[in-house]
Amino acid sequence: MPSEVLSAAPAATARPGAPARHLIEVVGVEKIFGDVATGHRALEAINILIEEKEFFTLLGPSGCGKTTLLRMIAGFEHPTTGEIWLQGKDVASLPPRERPVNMVFQNYALFPHLTVSQNVAFGLEMLRWKKADITARVQETLSLVKLAHFANRKPAQLSGGQQQRVALARALAPRPQVLLLDEPLSALDLKLRKEMQFELKRLQRETGITFILVTHDQEEALAMSDRIAVMNTGRVQQIGTPEEIYDHPTNRFVADFIGEANLIPGESLGRRADAIIAVRPEKIEIARPGVTPRISGVVDVATFLGSDTLMEITIPGGRLRARIRGAAKLPQGTEVGLVWETEAERELLD
């Protein structure tokens, strides 16, 4: 294919003498908006390593700094202190156009006065590709996102999902090293969002490009990511695979933010007073007669959900939610003993 030999996005050259390491290294990054002494500290002590061909997600509530970090990798923001290495080159102070990184913006930011194919061709024209190569690459990218028939439409003539695909095509056309996605699915309705989740996974597999996704939706993050960095108040709380983050949260925030978790004070279980024990509702079972329960409580509400029953149970020092398999016919006020496997619980110390 002729376009293969073309220079794609400006290639970052390796740092002399340094071993090839990770695709992206965010090292000790801090960002303060406004005055260094009094300004708003948006990011603190961020250290993240991202590998090639990885689907990496920055997950956190709004205002946690995830978008700032993404915009920093894109080059729209610059760290107050710290380094951002891309393919062994420090890019922290480079403008966006000198980074082999493209972005899918939150509201897509498709150029409204240009057609779909002109939008997709834009980056290639800026890189001064040859006309014939641009035409070929635009067609190739549009068929990749299944929009080949819409080349001559204006963005306003497309549905939200189609605009999303154009934004993806526009960002993928220059063959970037990294694709950044800023809440790309937030403007779509639920059904389309599920569809686009698969679509994004497919595109990532087919192109072999590293994707970095920003989202506040933990389900989305769990479904799509190879690894997730959970962020809160400008700090990384935990980095790991979806399974690690779900099953082994390292602190209270992660346990609470990802899925649902019961945070039981250590005292109630006869443990250290400063510890908090996290247990997922679906891991809790009702103790059979003769089994010593870990904790006892009184059924407050039991809601039958079809495949299982959601129970709210009052325990000493708090409340607890348990998802019991099947229909547990326990009326309000019933005293129950509760058990769970030792592997199912996490002791958190903060």
- Residue numbers at the binding site for other proteins (CB under 8 A): 9-10, 74-76, 95-97, 101-103, 105, 107-113, 122-123, 126-127, 154-163, 170-171, 174, 187, 192
Q: Which helix (H) or strand (E) holds 146?
A: none
Shortest distance (Å) from residue 224 CB to other proteins:
20
CB nearer other proteins, residue 87 or residue 250: 87
Shortest distance (Å) from residue 221 CB to other proteins:
21
Which is it for strands 335-339 and 285-286: parallel, antiparallel or unpaired? antiparallel
CB nearer other proteins, residue 162 or residue 268: 162
Shortest distance (Å) from residue 188 CB to other proteins:
8
Q: Write b or e for each residue in 144-164: b if 16 or more Cβ atoms lie within 10 A of its Cβ, otherwise e.
A: bbebeebbeebbeebeebbbb
CB nearer other proteins, residue 187 or residue 330: 187
Do 315 and 297 form a contact (C-beta atoms < 8 A)? yes
d(CA 212, CA 136): 27
Residues 6+ apart with CB under 8 A from 170: 102, 110, 119, 120, 122, 123
Quote the tokens at residue 85: 């290495």
CB nearer other proteins, residue 150 or residue 340: 150
Shortest distance (Å) from residue 212 CB to other proteins:
14
Shortest distance (Å) from residue 234 CB to other proteins:
22
d(CA 308, CA 331): 16
- Number of neighbours of residue 95 by Cβ within 10 angstroms: 10
Quote the tokens at residue 200: 């994004």
CB nearer other proteins, residue 171 or residue 324: 171
CB nearer other proteins, residue 220 or residue 345: 220
32 SS3 class: strand
Shortest distance (Å) from residue 59 CB to other proteins:
22
CB nearer other proteins, residue 179 or residue 254: 179
Shortest distance (Å) from residue 336 CB to other proteins:
47
115 to 18, 49, 335: CA distances (angstroms):
44, 37, 66
